[in-house]
Structure formats: C-alpha cells, structure tokens
Amino acid sequence: AQSVTQPDIHITVSEGASLELRCNYSYGATPYLFWYVQSPGQGLQLLLKYFSGDTLVQGIKGFEAEFKRSQSSFNLRKPSVHWSDAAEYFCAVGERTYKYIFGTGTRLKVLA
C-alpha cells in the first residue's frame, strides 16, 4: 500500500541555519511528490512538486527538494531559515486516481 513517512514530528532550528525535512514514501510506480506548508490557522500552500525530469526541484520561498528514487525519499531543504518559515510542513504522494496521501507533518520551530 502507498504511504508517506515524515520521521520528524518536530524540528527546531536557529534563524539563519540550514534546514532539511525528511520524507520517505512507499509507492508502486514513479510517484508525483509534493511539499505543502501550513502556517498557523491557515490553509495549505504548495511549496514545490516533482512529476518527472530533473530530480532537484526549486520551489517558492527559497525551498528546494531532491527526489532520490534509490532511497524512496523527497527531502525538503532550505539553506538559511527565516523566522517566518515556522509552520507545519507536509509531504504528499499523488495518485492518478485523484487523491493524495499525506505524511503526518513536521512542525518547524525557528529560534531567533
């Protein structure tokens, strides 16, 4: 069965430090992969997505993610975190049957 795992429930980083959020998936074919961000009390905003092609994808707000088929991973990175990046981050795998499977989310806290 398809699944998405985000191993880190909480992550705390200092402002200006680098960030990597982990996402592992289990999927039978080449997946469609997404990262969304949810700020407190807000809806989900798409950060970036991978369908095919270049395995390093660039997103909004300075985020990037790398698809590694051999590791079944799609980790999200940012070289320098800003205080406004504090939020909940969700990884998702898309199915062609119209539904996403979401990970359980990683809450990012940024220290000033």
Residue 105 makes CB contacts below 8 A (sequence gap 6+) with 6, 9, 38, 88, 89, 90
Q: Taking the complex as a whole, how short is the minimal distance between the CB of residue 27 and other proteins, in angstroms?
A: 13
Nearer to other proteins, 70 or 97 (CB): 97
Nearer to other proteins, 77 or 107 (CB): 107
Q: CA triplet 54, 58, 64: central angle to 5 degrees? A: 105
Q: Taking the complex as a whole, how short is the minimal distance between the CB of residue 28 and other proteins, in angstroms?
A: 16
Per CB under 8 A, residues contacting other proteins are: 32, 34, 36, 38, 42-46, 49, 51, 88, 90, 94-100, 102, 104-105, 107
Q: Which two tokens stand for residue 82?
A: 């800003």
Q: Taking the complex as a whole, how short is the minimal distance between the CB of residue 26 and other proteins, in angstroms?
A: 17
Given CA atoms 71, 36, 47, 98 in this order, what sign does their dihedral have?
positive
Nearer to other proteins, 15 or 95 (CB): 95
Q: Taking the complex as a whole, how short is the minimal distance between the CB of residue 57 and other proteins, in angstroms?
A: 13
Q: Which of 9, 48, 42, 19 is nearest to 111 (CA)?
A: 19
Nearer to other proteins, 48 or 81 (CB): 48
What does DSSP say about strands 24-26 and 32-38: parallel, antiparallel, or unpaired? Answer: unpaired
